[in-house]
Structure 1
Amino acid sequence: MFNEERRFEQPIRWAMVGGGRGSQIGYSHRSAAQRDNLFQLVAGAFDLDSERCKDFGTNIGVDADRCYSDYKEMFRKESQREDGIQAVSVATPNSTHFEICKAALESNLHVICEKPITFTTEQAIELKTLSEQRNHVLGVMYGYTGFPMIQQAREMVERGDLGEIRVVNMTFAHGFHNVEHEKNEPGLKWRVSPEVSGPTYVLGDLGTHAYYLCELITGLEVKRLSCMRQSFIPSRAPLEDNAHVMMEFESGAVGTLWASAVNAGAMHQQKIRIVGEKASIEWWDEHPNQLKYEVQGEAPRLLDRAMDYLYNDSEGVSSNRIGGGHAEGYFESWANLYHRFALAFQAADQDDQETLSKLWYPDVNAGIEGVRLCEKCAESADQDAAWVNFK
């Protein structure tokens, strides 16, 4: 079971940039961060409009004088306070991530950023260098990786239950944007605008989630890829609302990725299937408490979260917040990640490099590889799906 007794002497003083009124992602961050009393929300630049920012911030318990309409002002003023913020989460449109993360790190703050963390790999590497120079953590919010059964899948691959990995099939293909909803949805409009979203739409918004699951569970590294992408809603061009990617990994394994927002009728359809020489596993985010396990020549089995037959000697696998049979979901996964971010922040503050080296969380390297995926897919698609080297 999850260790609810883990406490800090004082919760991490935490702020948000973005995530104001009506933001589903903002609410997700706040719910996750404050779940285990390791973070305390004390400030925020929730909205560019000062009155809306203050009205929203005070309604959720932030002092009015610590609600800022400008993140730079927040970083500057909070740095002058004895009780100033120690960490910040960035939940703003993609085009702002690099600038805000850089300013936060330069203000000696730990950072949790939505993905993709930058537009280019060079920018992401610059942030990594800065975080290392400042000895501060930059984490990326790959929110699905906190599910215990993802950690079980990782352990099964690592312990050889599947044998050598041969094939990985990744999918994140919902149908909610099958027509031009952005005409009436500002939150979607920026996602299909290149100047705000970056070089991709569904590849960055959805594909990076599926790809990071592959990275995390298998440890495979992409050698080269081929991508074709479409804008089935013509006004979204040059950004894609559907993409298919073929991958070759350094190990000789192969993979496919389907990212789509026009899979009409589908809810999420985020799935990953990993095929080894002896067995296969499959996880689906709409049924996150189960993992399919299929051994060649044996009856298929369904592994359930929180059961004794899992690899519960791994902290990630055993991070269940309630017993088996009860449904755990999205908020629990996010809370598990925020718990790990808190441990990483504490270790960095204490210069405990040994703990940092052993602690898993979605770090800046995960962010870099997500940005690289978007770049390389765009490069391939722009050359009629030519194969391109990943690095």
Structure 2
Amino acid sequence: MSRFAGREGPIRLGMVGGGQGAMIGAVHRTAARLDGGYELVAGALSSTPQKAQASGQEIGLQSDRIYDDFTQMAERESQRSDGIEAVAIVTPNHLHLPAAQAFLKRGIHVICDKPLTGTMADATEMQAAVKESDALFILTHTYAGYPLVREAAERVARGDLGDIRLVQVEYAQDWLSQKPDPDNKQASWRTDPARSGIGGAISDIGTHAWHLLCHITGLQPEALAADLQSFVPDRQLDDNAHVMLRFAGGARGTLWCSQVAAGQENNLRIRIFGTKAGLEWAQENPNRLILSPLGEPARLITTASPATGENARRLTRVPPGHPEGYFEAFANLYCEAEIAIRAHRTGAALPEGVQFPTLADGMSGMRFVQACVQSSNANSAWVTL
């Protein structure tokens, strides 16, 4: 039984990173409080002490729960009777491992932004840290939280599409089409190998596309051939990638991700074709899922409609015709994590249908990134996964 057994009320949450000017920190905080399941009570929000203090005060943390670094936070919070039960890690990639280690070894659950780490070596260490801890590890691949993504995965699993033959997934943005302003922190760390790791676009958004493909189709990857580019002069990491994919059973796929595709904002989309039907979903219009049975008119499935299954409807907050989006999808991951954390207190089994990205998904993403880099460096040679 967990030392947190017997606790009542919202889960006490801490945050590492996500201070002033950090977009994803605000997203995590909004998602965590959307359904009332968490209370943010502590934070080491910046590596700069002055900014950490200012950021904590800005969001209403008590002064004694604002920390200058995550090691100090992990030590002190683990000793408090009202200490945090879970921590959200929303730092640049190179800090995911040391921050997670600090909390996992103290039995504090970790909710970590993707990708898992910046390098495969760090991912291997993360795997060991999670294995050695009794705490849960949740990875926030946001798009798995959309109700119609859950619906798509269930339809594929029950055979509505037949045997999968082809998969096409893409994630196109344009925000890094030019050399960024040095003051743009979001751009600067993502294009810096020391903080981002071995991948640029392939790590930042390519892992999202990869996870979406694997999550919905359930296909087992066998090999890939990748062509990575850095179109912006003097950029050290890729900003565009084309990847061919082979899967067990003979299915084939392509993955394109780009952060230099002019006119594209956040265009994540997937198309899946089987022997019986095709399926299409796009993140910029997430409340529509298109099912195209072979030889029949296409069918439109909308969020919360009678055509959706029980699990998809469980993740939906409003009636049909009311659009849900990014914050709600992110909040669904936090809701699933909350159910898991409460079950963990007493050792209870998870209710049927509850799911969220885990360490295994993170390791899959890192193997994907490493294989893409390896393939591209070898003139797009096929690399076994």
Q: Same fold (TM over 0.5)?
A: yes
Gap regions ≥5 residues in structure 1: 1-7
Question: Does 2:239 align with 1:244?
Answer: no
Could you tell me how far apart the structure 1 residues matched to 2:329 and 2:122 are? 28
Name the SS of the counterpart of 2:68 in structure 1: coil
Which residue of 2 is the match for residue 355 of structure 1? 350
1:165 CA displacement: 0.6
Q: Which amino acid in the other structure matches residue 323 of structure 1?
A: P
Which residue of 1 is the match for residue 300 of structure 2? 302
1:346 corresponds to which of 326, 332, 342: 342
Question: Does 2:368 align with 1:373?
Answer: yes
Question: Does 2:66 align with 1:71?
Answer: no
Cα offsets for 1:280-327 (capped at 9, x unmatched)? 001100000001111111111221110112223xx2443211011111
Task: Summarize the alignment of residues 199-214 of structure 1 with structure 2, pairs less than 5 Å apart.
Answer: 199-214=198-213
The TM-score with structure 1 as length reference comes to 0.93
- Partners of 1:120 and 1:372 within 8 A in 2: no
- Partners of 1:98 and 1:118 within 8 A in 2: yes
Question: Does 2:317 align with 1:321?
Answer: yes
1:126 CA displacement: 3.4
Which stretch has the larger CA shift, 340-349 or 321-330?
340-349
Which stretch has the larger CA shift, 106-115 or 283-292?
106-115
1:59 CA displacement: 2.3
Could you tell me how far apart the structure 2 residues matched to 1:125 and 1:290 are? 38
Cα offsets for 1:138-197 (capped at 9, x unmatched)? 111111111100011011101111000111101001112111124442220111111111
Cα offsets for 1:31-75 (capped at 9, x unmatched)? 011112211101000112223222221221210111011110111
Question: Does 2:58 align with 1:62?
Answer: no
Task: Summarize the alignment of residues 153-168 of structure 1 with structure 2, pairs less than 5 Å apart.
Answer: 153-168=152-167
1:79 CA displacement: 1.4
Task: Summarize the alignment of residues 91-110 of structure 1 with structure 2, pairs less than 5 Å apart.
Answer: 91-110=90-109
Name the SS of the counterpart of 2:219 in structure 1: coil
Q: Which amino acid in the other structure matches residue 185 of structure 1?
A: N
Which residue of 1 is the match for residue 16 of structure 2? 17
Name the SS of the counterpart of 1:89 in structure 2: strand
Question: Does 2:269 align with 1:271?
Answer: yes
Could you tell me how far apart the structure 2 residues matched to 1:107 and 1:293 are? 47
The TM-score with structure 2 as length reference comes to 0.95
Could you tell me how far apart the structure 1 residues matched to 2:249 and 2:114 are? 27
Which residue of 1 is the match for residue 28 of structure 2? 29
Cα offsets for 1:266-286 (capped at 9, x unmatched)? 122210111111110011000
Which residue of 2 is the match for residue 43 of structure 1? 42
Could you tell me how far apart the structure 1 residues matched to 2:352 and 2:249 are? 24
Which stretch has the larger CA shift, 222-231 or 355-364?
355-364
Could you tell me how far apart the structure 1 residues matched to 2:195 and 2:8 are? 40
Tell me which stretches of 4 or more aligned residues in structure 1 moved more than 3 Å.
120-123, 356-359
1:90 CA displacement: 0.6
Could you tell me how far apart the structure 2 residues matched to 1:26 and 1:327 are? 23
Say how many residue pairs are matched.
Answer: 379
Question: Does 2:126 align with 1:127?
Answer: yes
Could you tell me how far apart the structure 2 residues matched to 1:102 and 1:357 are? 30
Question: Does 2:84 align with 1:85?
Answer: yes
Residue 316 and residue 128 in structure 1: after superposition, are their counterparts in 2 closer, same or farther (change >3 A)? Answer: farther
Residue 200 and residue 72 in structure 1: after superposition, are their counterparts in 2 closer, same or farther (change >3 A)? Answer: same
Gap regions ≥5 residues in structure 2: 1-6
Q: Which amino acid in the other structure matches residue 32 of structure 1?
A: A
Cα offsets for 1:350-388 (capped at 9, x unmatched)? 223x32896311111111111111111000001000001
Could you tell me how far apart the structure 1 residues matched to 2:307 and 2:86 are? 38
CA RMSD between the two structures: 1.5
What is the aligned-residue identity percentage? 39
Question: Does 2:146 align with 1:147?
Answer: yes
Cα offsets for 1:83-134 (capped at 9, x unmatched)? 0111101111111111111111012110011111123344324323432332
- Partners of 1:135 and 1:348 within 8 A in 2: no
Task: Summarize the alignment of residues 154-233 of structure 1 with structure 2, pairs less than 5 Å apart.
Answer: 154-233=153-232
Residue 274 and residue 377 in structure 1: after superposition, are their counterparts in 2 closer, same or farther (change >3 A)? Answer: same
1:338 CA displacement: 0.2
Could you tell me how far apart the structure 2 residues matched to 1:268 and 1:29 are? 18
